[in-house]
């Protein structure tokens, strides 16, 4: 065969083969993945949804194909039911779930979420981020059982501690300060350091002092309606009154149960526990009428309308207080750490860890999203929401100066403490919500309430052990 003809045939073959290969490659479907994040509907979730648009290119770089993120929002009031309905159905519709910390036991024991231990320990970036996380938040957001070496979650919405919001214009008013000292013998707190020394009993003094009736004077102004010393979230909904009360309960030296035997008897209804509940009942004298009905919306509205001197809320709810469009006192608010009692301070833990559904079809992509969130996007996210789980971020001047409540949040973090994250958490919670709310409503006395809680919760524990 002619040499030139042979070369031409070879060249033609190469061109044809290359063309066919190119054609086939263009006809193959391009791998494209969408992961779904199940989240409660609130501002921190909306902020993360905005940031998540940046994850697609990050996934392209790391995986070689784009991954889109879709957020599925559900209102808080029905969020738990939505989560449990999806996992009980073993549905793949959610890949990542924001779980309340107390749900970790139920979700893991039910086989609904995956074990993240090996992944976190073998990924240098995730391991470093975990070492940079506050130890108590590792315990409550990441491990099951609490404090074990098994990781089942990663800090998500680290809305970790409730904070005290107060009317600094009233606390710093010279006449009010002089009158308070004349009545109680000590100064109203005015700095964060002052509030760090404040006892819960002193907070009650302050609430009593600032409770005024219409026609009385407050900071030189005659009141046209009643004014209240404090407003707290005490309704029976979900865990509302528990979150408000447990900071007092634990600071009084009480405990919910014996963690080894799970026996609440003589723990939750101890002398300290009953005294703490009596204190809460006494404190409600300085709240608006029907305190047992007060949920987050009512408390936020009451304080934002300038009708109370103090309130206690999560930092995720603070934007509504500091926004001039929603708050009449937006420029008059100070933020502090919750009080201690006889030198003991605990603050109820809040926040939601990120977990991966066992029924997800995209577990590796879900892991990559969590890694991106907690190691790449997390500082930006923390600065935008004003709370964080990572020490290096919390201790940075950027974070401390990011929001009016950021410094108090950092001061409060070491005191965060969670309640059970056991499979029968919901049944235990429902019992104490019922009776604590009844005490606030004046339907039962604190001692009887605590005794009933102890017996009924012990009944739940015994059923679980069978």
Tokens of 268: 């939750």
3-state secondary structure of 441: coil
Structure tokens belonging to residue 72: 């599925």
Q: Which residues of the chain have pLDDT under 70?
A: 1-30
Within 10 angstroms of residue 101's Cβ, the number of other Cβ atoms is 27
Q: Which residue has the tokens 């470093």?
A: 128
| DSSP, res 305 | T
CA pair distance 23, 26, nearest whole angstrom: 5
Copy the structure tokens of residue 340.
Answer: 């201690």
| pLDDT tens, position by position, 297-347 | 999 999 999 999 999 999 999 999 999 999 999 999 999 999 999 999 999
Q: What are the chain's domains?
A: 33-159+351-416 (3.40.190.10), 163-349+422-465 (3.40.190.10)
Helix, strand, coil percent content, the chain, rounded in steps of 5: 55, 15, 35
CB atoms within 10 A of CB 111: 11
Query: What is residue 16's predicted lDDT score, i.e. its pLDDT?
Result: 47
Sign of CA dihedral 34, 35, 40, 43: negative
Residue 23 is predicted with a pLDDT of 45
C-alpha to C-alpha distance for 395 and 209, rounded to whole angstroms: 36
Q: Which residue has the tokens 């609440």?
A: 264
């Amino acid at each position: 065969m002619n040499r030139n003809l042979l070369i031409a045939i070879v060249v033609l073959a190469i061109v044809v083969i290359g063309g066919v290969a190119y054609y086939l490659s263009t006809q193959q479907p391009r791998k494209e993945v969408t992961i779904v994040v199940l989240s409660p509907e609130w501002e921190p979730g909306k902020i993360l949804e905005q940031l998540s648009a940046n994850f697609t290119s990050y996934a392209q770089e790391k995986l070689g194909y784009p991954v889109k993120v879709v957020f599925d929002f559900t209102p808080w009031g029905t969020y738990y039911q939505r989560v449990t309905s999806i996992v009980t159905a073993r549905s793949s519709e959610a890949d990542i779930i924001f779980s309340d910390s107390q749900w970790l036991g139920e979700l893991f024991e039910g086989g609904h979420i995956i074990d993240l231990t090996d992944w976190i320990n073998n990924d240098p970036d995730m391991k470093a981020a975990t070492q940079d996380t506050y130890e108590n938040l590792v315990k409550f957001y990441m491990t099951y059982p609490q404090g074990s070496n098994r990781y089942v979650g990663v800090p998500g919405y680290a809305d970790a501690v409730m904070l005290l919001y107060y009317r600094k214009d009233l606390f710093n008013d010279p006449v009010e300060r002089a009158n308070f000292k004349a009545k109680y013998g000590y100064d109203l707190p005015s700095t964060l350091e002052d509030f760090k020394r404040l006892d819960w009993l002193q907070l009650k003094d302050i609430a009593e002092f600032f409770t005024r009736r219409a026609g009385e004077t407050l900071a030189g102004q005659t009141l046209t309606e009643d004014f209240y010393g404090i407003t707290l979230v005490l309704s029976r909904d979900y865990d509302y009154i528990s979150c408000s009360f447990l900071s007092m309960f634990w600071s009084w030296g009480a405990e919910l149960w014996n963690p080894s035997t799970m026996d609440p008897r003589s723990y939750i209804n101890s002398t300290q526990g009953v005294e703490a509940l009596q204190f809460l009942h006494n404190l409600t004298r300085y709240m608006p009428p029907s305190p047992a009905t007060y949920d987050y919306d009512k408390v936020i509205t009451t304080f934002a309308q300038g009708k109370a001197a103090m309130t206690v809320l999560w930092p995720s709810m603070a934007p509504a207080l500091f926004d001039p469009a929603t708050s009449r006192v937006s420029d008059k608010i100070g933020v502090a750490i919750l009080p201690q009692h006889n030198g003991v301070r605990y603050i109820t833990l809040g926040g939601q860890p990120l977990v991966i559904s066992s029924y997800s079809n995209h577990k590796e992509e879900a892991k990559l999203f969590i890694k991106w969130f907690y190691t790449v996007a997390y500082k930006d996210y923390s600065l935008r929401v004003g709370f964080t789980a990572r020490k290096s971020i919390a201790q940075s001047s950027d974070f401390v100066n990011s929001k009016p409540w950021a410094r108090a949040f950092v001061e409060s973090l070491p005191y965060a403490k969670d309640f059970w994250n056991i499979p029968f958490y919901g049944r235990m919670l429902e019992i104490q919500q019922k009776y604590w709310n009844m005490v606030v409503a004046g339907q039962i006395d604190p001692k009887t309430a605590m005794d009933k809680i102890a017996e009924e919760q012990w009944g739940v524990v015994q059923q679980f052990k069978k």
